[in-house]
Amino acid sequence: MPLMLIDYYKAIEDSSAKMLEAAKAEDWDGVMRFEGACAVLIEQLRERARSEELDVHSRAEKSKIMRRILHNDAQIRYLAEPWLTHFEHKLEGQPAFLH
């Protein structure tokens, strides 16, 4: 059975939840892996949205999904901030051509 447009939103939400779990476990490689999966799904969603529209029920569901994705993203950013700061400090000591 082919995926419906709303299924792409659900898959992106699932990947964002997995990114959050990886961030909570400080598995930054996992975060990047799931971020890559999200990017692929978003591109597929964009392509599919050119030829398909959501019905009224699906639009309401999409809004709820998007709020959860944004909430996950905010938590991931909060958890990643110390890691990013540490990474930036490590780069400051490197030659400019490595930045």
pTM for this model (two decimals): 0.81
Integer-rounded Cα radius of gyration of the chain:
17
CATH code, domain with 48: 1.20.58.380
- C-alpha–C-alpha distance, residues 45 and 64, integer Å: 17
Tally of structural domains, the chain? 1
At 65, is the secondary structure helix, strand, or coil?
helix
| Residue numbers of the domain that contains 10 | 5-98
38-91: per-residue pLDDT in tens? Answer: 999 999 999 999 999 999 999 999 999 999 999 999 999 999 887 666 666 566
User: How crowded is residue 89: how many other Cβ atoms within 10 Å of its Cβ?
Assistant: 9
According to the model, what pLDDT value does residue 39 have?
96
23-50: per-residue pLDDT in tens? Answer: 999 999 999 999 999 999 999 999 999 9
